[in-house]
Structure 1
Amino acid sequence: MLVLGIETTCDETGAAVVERPPQGPGRILANVVLSQIEAHAAFGGVVPEIAARAHVEALDLIIAKAMGEAGKTFAELDGVAAAAGPGLIGGVIVGLTTAKAIALVAEKPLIAVNHLEAHALTARLTDATPFPYCLFLASGGHTQIVAVLGVGNYVRLGTTVDDAIGEAFDKVAKLLGLPYPGGPQVEREALTGNPARFSLPRPMLGRPHADFSLSGLKTALRVEADKVAPLSEADVRDLCASFQQSVVEVVADRLRAGLKMFREAYGKPSALVAAGGVAANQAIRKVLHQVAFETGTVLVVPPAALCTDNGVMIAWAGAERLALGLTDTLDAAPHARWPLQDVRGPASEEVVLETAAASDAEASRPAAFEDG
């Protein structure tokens, strides 16, 4: 099964061609990603209008390059997948509309993919990870612990009540005057810093649930920074190290709680899977290995290039859904917000069909029975 995937939810324009075999991991035939970091760096963050315009300018060429690298034509595809959200709505519209045009002209099925589901299923592409597994999804916009029970079958075990981990890293970087993108800069400074110098809180530590909270930690760091201002290079390194150490300890604690909840509800997971750009942070990755070892769970982390936004994960999620007959019509809507638990799967599709059939039967019922 051959699927083209298109990713435009934020500041990466991505297109990829992926092959899904009947069994085992998938095969990446092409993966082209154009980053917009330079375009947004001057603003210290992603500007939605600039991002959408950049997608418009680049997407056709990116798709052509991906198809060329794969050595395939649109006629050879089995489906066309695009991220339909959640994300910056301008960019989402660009990618989804382009996918609709290709699907219409090539007469191929359209698959409107949830961006979070694509992250959730990437481990099946790289490692053929069987269901069910526990997902730690951490990025600039999302921090969740999810029970992945099947395609379109997700149960959120924990989430952030305020800032996402990646968002907190970026805000701390901006507070400390570090360049954009902030997350990698904080990690780099933390390497040579003293994580014990500043006493920062560990929010939610020891709570029985698996939720996160990071806004208080960010505020505490600002207070400590104000105490020693103006900041020296050593101060910045130590603040970064102290902040990252707090996050690492919180992640470990929240994952232990999430895995406990998973086991109580669904038994032992086949793996602990990490996805999202934050999974590329080496300190966090180290603690993931530690938690997996402690809990007797296999850790699966896709390559760094597949943890950040890319067309490969969209193509693979599209292929997974297409294999189950889950396709979309050309009026599929783009979503700025689209919770993972609202994604439909095979079971929910049957419910929809049954509901529609019941509605049709109700509408066609003879009038004589309406009051009976």
Structure 2
Amino acid sequence: MTVVLGIETSCDETGAGLVAEGRLLGDALSSSMSEHARFGGVVPEIAARAHLEAMLPVVREALTRASLDLSDVGAVAVTAGPGLSTAVQVGLASAKAFAFALDVPLYGVHHLAGHAAVDVLEHGPLPPRCVALVVSGGHTSLLLLGDLARDPIVHLGDTADDAAGEAFDKVARILGLPYPGGPSVDRAARDGDPRAIAFPRPLTRPSDPRYGFSFSGLKTAVARWVEARQGAGGDLPVADVAASFQEAVADTVTRKAVAACLDHGVDTLLVVGGVAANSRVRALAEERCAAAGIELRVPPMRLCTDNGAMIAAVGDLLVRAGAPASELRIPADPSAPLTGALLAGPWR
């Protein structure tokens, strides 16, 4: 049995996780979110410094929770991209140091593959084929997955502009809600009417890309509605705006995800990423999957956002599949395309 240490530093969370044979042994997380809140978004330099400060304490905490020593680690997996350049570099340098010192294999993996792999820790192995809806602050994609460790990942559709989570952050600012926007909008929406305002459902016309996403226009529609309301001297119904916007996002992403499953003869939908923690996205996905006879798999809420367990999970799959390890000179790739779980490049 090989214990895989996973390290995640793509944005503002420093995560470490330990996984063996599909089982999470222990994990720990440190977030610098509070340091970014006053700026209304993540500042890369602040995030990188926070990763430097948190790395060793987080790894130690994960080992303690797993009742393991560092010498028990048999492989190291790390996010090599995509993500904030300086943040990814901190995690990658740390992982290289651990792998070199322990004389164990290093696996530079794709961040989004980790989001898909983390569900294995809760619900067991993925089926031979499934559709994954990735909804996060930086990504909104529909993927066709086979064997995550061995097969290429097929992009069915991606966002043309803002990701869903990015739109949540921007709408939160428009409404005067605190950062991060996803949880703030979700909380505000609980007291609102999702049918109060008919915001557009982006790219849902017959002539539009069937699996494509675009949330920039939806964010602009919210901004214009708010401007018009305030310009007319009316009170701003924050809860109704939040609920109506959230409904538009949830309706759009779940509609396209279910359509992708039906079109490709897939009976399992995997919903992952930070926005998978949104209450309406989860509820509507469950409702529509049940109606279509599709099994819905969503990781526990704490594993939806960035964490070290998800990187350890994809590393564990790669180890068990006998995948080749990365060389220690593997570079960070902040804009890495997703073609497979293991990042490849000219260093091989």
Same fold (TM over 0.5): yes
Q: Which residue of 1 aligns with 2:187?
A: 188
Query: Partner letter of residue 5 of structure 2?
Result: L
Q: Give the superposition deviation at 1:171.
A: 0.5
1:161 positional shift: 1.0
1:122 aligns with 2:118: yes
Structure with greater helix share of residues: 1
Ranges in structure 1 where 5+ consecutive residues have no aligned partner: 21-25, 357-372
Letter in 2 for 1:80: V
Residue by residue over 1:19-50, the C-alpha shift from the partner in whole angstroms, topping out at 9 and shown as x without a partner, is 21xxxxx2221110011111101101100000
Are residues 1:170 and 2:169 paired? yes
The aligned counterpart of 1:292 is 289
Evaluate the alpha carbon distance shift between residue 315 and residue 343 of structure 1 in structure 2; reply closer, same or farther with a 3 A threshold: closer
The amino acid of 1:113's aligned partner reads V
Aligned counterpart, 1:13: 14
C-alpha separation in 2, matches of 1:288 and 1:277: 15
1:147 match: secondary structure: strand
TM-score by length of 1: 0.87
Q: Quote the residue 2:95 is aligned against.
A: 99
TM-score, scaled to structure 2: 0.92
Unmatched tracts of structure 2, length 5 or more: none
Q: Give the Å deviation of 1:284.
A: 0.6
* Partners of 1:279 and 1:233 in 2: CA distance: 31
User: Structure 2 matches for 1:68-147, cutoff 5 A?
Assistant: 68-128=64-124, 129-147=126-144
> Could you tell me which residue of structure 1 aligns to residue 335 of structure 2?
337
Q: Distance in 1 between matches of 2:327 and 2:241?
A: 50
Residue pair 2:314, 2:341 contacting (<8 A) in 1 also: no
Give, in whole Å, the separation in 2 of the partners of 1:232 and 1:310: 42
Query: How many angstroms apart in 2 are the aligned matches of 1:75 and 1:51?
Result: 29
Moved more, 335-344 or 37-46: 335-344
Q: Counterparts of 2:3 and 2:154 in 1: how far apart (Å)?
A: 29
- Map of 2:240 onto structure 1: 238
Q: CA RMSD in A?
A: 2.0
Whole-Å separation in 1 of the counterparts to 2:263 and 2:89: 37
Matched pairs, number: 339
Shift of residue 232 of structure 1? 7.2
Q: Matched residues, percent identical?
A: 42
- Give 1:27's aligned residue: 23
Which residue identity is paired with 2:165?
G
Structure 1 or 2, whichever has the larger Rg, is: 1
Which residue of 58, 65, 70 maps to 2:54?
A: 58
Return 299-308 or 115-124, whichever deviates more. Answer: 115-124
State how far apart, in whole Å, the 1-side matches of 2:321 and 2:107 are. Answer: 11
**Aligned position for 2:217:** 216
Contact 1:193 1:234 in 2 (8 A): no
Offset at residue 342 of structure 1 (A): 5.3
**Counterpart Cα distance in 1 of 2:118 and 2:65:** 21
Partner Cα distance (1:317, 1:344) in 2: 9
Structure 1: distance between partners of 2:203 and 2:253: 10
Amino acid at match of 1:65: E
| Structure 1 residue identity aligned to 2:32 | Q
Tell me whether 1:49 sits opposite 2:45 in the alignment.
Answer: yes
